[in-house]
Chains A and B, each alone.
Chain A
Amino acid sequence: MNLSAYVIPVLLASVAVYGMGRHVDVYSALTHGAEEGLTVLLRVAPALVGLLTAVSMFRVSGAMEWLSGLFAPVLELLGVPPETAPLMLVRPVSGSGALAVATDLMAAHGPDSYIGRVAAVMLGSTETTFYTIAVYFGSAGIHKTRHTVPAALAADLTGFIAAAFAVRLLFGGA
């Protein structure tokens, strides 16, 4: 019996009780939100079919290894596992693409392995940078984005390096 076993049941119970205390119709909020989860899934699933096809072909053909090898010297210097190079390349461009690459890494190395955890942390602590920039500036009518792209990419790069660092710090190294 460990502490983390408490987290999910306690969170569910306390959110429900707090919601009732605030006179919220907890159950219909839950189902309404779950419906939204389905629409997210419906949007992601077709992209996953296309991308997981390409990603698993890419891995089996040996191209993934070649791409990782290309970036390996730099990444090792930064303490980042070279296997995550494809994830880092796709992350700023496509959310579902990154999800597919990370899923493939977790399947190949195990979700609780060092590489699996680093991939999960990278995915969870970064966003689809270029998509976000396009949406915000597009709808605000901005053409000159000035230093937004370099600053956002600096954040992404820091996130990738920090992900490997944080996993080593909290779970022990590879």
Chain B
Amino acid sequence: MAMTWVWTGMVVLSLLFGMVSGNLDAVANAALEGARSAVDLSISMAGILCLWSGVMEIMNACGISAGLAKAFRPLLRRLLPDASRDRETLAAVSANVSANLLGLGNAATPLGIQAARRMAQGCGGTASDELCLLVVLNTASIQLLPTTVASVRAAAGSRTPFDILPAVWLTSVLSVAAGLLTAWLFSRRRGRRTA
């Protein structure tokens, strides 16, 4: 529903701005051009997107994601101590994090939801500190190979579509840290109030 507002707002504003500035002809052309370029983009992205989805699938089948999940367990045990008491929750969270790292969004979401449901049991519809933390971790991207972005860059004619990787990693680390820090500060403030 939010996108209905965004889309309608953009089209109406474009009409108004086009009328005021008198370049409605160009706006009309832009509408048709935009629709055509969407198909061009989709087709020129398709090959790279499929190739990388395939490579991700091989990595998954090799047990690389299972290995990653194992490697993350000690860290997650520290981050989510209550949830980690339940073995199955910890397993689901680690698998969720490793699937996110590999960019397997379709695999990450069901695993994360499974963990969230277990963590939400018996809390009467209010998110616990740790559940907030899990969701914040999932709203921040921690993908190692942002393949969709690379395919868009390649489609737009970039000479080196993957050269943004270090910048993406640095940005992801900073944004995840900011999210976790904010969540932690909020939970501390509340802890003090109830104490």
A68 at the interface (CB under 8 A from B): no
Give the top 7 A-B pairs by smallest Cβ distance, nearest first. Answer: A33-B57, A155-B179, A37-B53, A159-B175, A124-B146, A56-B34, A158-B178
Would you call the interface of chain B mostly helix, strand, loop, or mixed? helix
Would you give the shortest CB distance from A80 to chain B, in whole angstroms? 12
B178 touches A102 (CB 8 A): no
A58 touches B14 (CB 8 A): yes
A124 touches B149 (CB 8 A): yes
Q: Which of B42, B135, B160 contacts A132 (CB 8 A)?
A: B135
Query: B104-130 toward A: CB 8 Å interface, digit per residue (1/0)?
Result: 001001001100110110010111000
B79 at the interface (CB under 8 A from A): no
With A112-B159, A127-B140 given, can you name 12 additional A-B contacts, CB distance below 8 Å? A22-B63, A29-B54, A29-B61, A36-B57, A38-B46, A61-B21, A110-B157, A120-B152, A121-B171, A141-B125, A143-B126, A147-B182
Evaluate whether A154 and B174 lie within 8 angstroms (CB atoms) in the complex, with A121-B167, A140-B119 already known: no
Q: Which of A50, A124, A141, A156 contacts B143 (CB 8 A)?
A: A124
B31 touches A56 (CB 8 A): yes
A61 touches B141 (CB 8 A): no
Number of interface residues of A (CB under 8 A): 100
B31 touches A57 (CB 8 A): yes
A interface, CB within 8 angstroms of B: 4, 7-8, 11-12, 15-16, 18-19, 22, 24-26, 29-38, 40-41, 44-45, 48-63, 66, 90, 93-94, 97, 99-100, 102-103, 106-107, 110-112, 116-117, 120-127, 129-130, 132-133, 135-137, 139-148, 150-152, 154-159, 162-163, 166-167, 169-171
In the complex, A99 Cα to B45 Cα: how many Å?
Answer: 12
Q: Which of A25, A125, A145 contacts B171 (CB 8 A)?
A: A125
A4 touches B10 (CB 8 A): no
A26: nearest chain-B partner, CB-CB: B58
> Among residues 37 to 59 in chain B, which have CB atoms less than 8 Å away from a CB atom of chain A?
37-39, 41-42, 45-46, 49-59
Q: Which of B2, B39, B136 contacts A49 (CB 8 A)?
A: B39
In the complex, A30 Cα to B53 Cα: how many Å?
Answer: 8
In the complex, A121 Cα to B30 Cα: how many Å?
Answer: 26
In the complex, A31 Cα to B176 Cα: how many Å?
Answer: 33
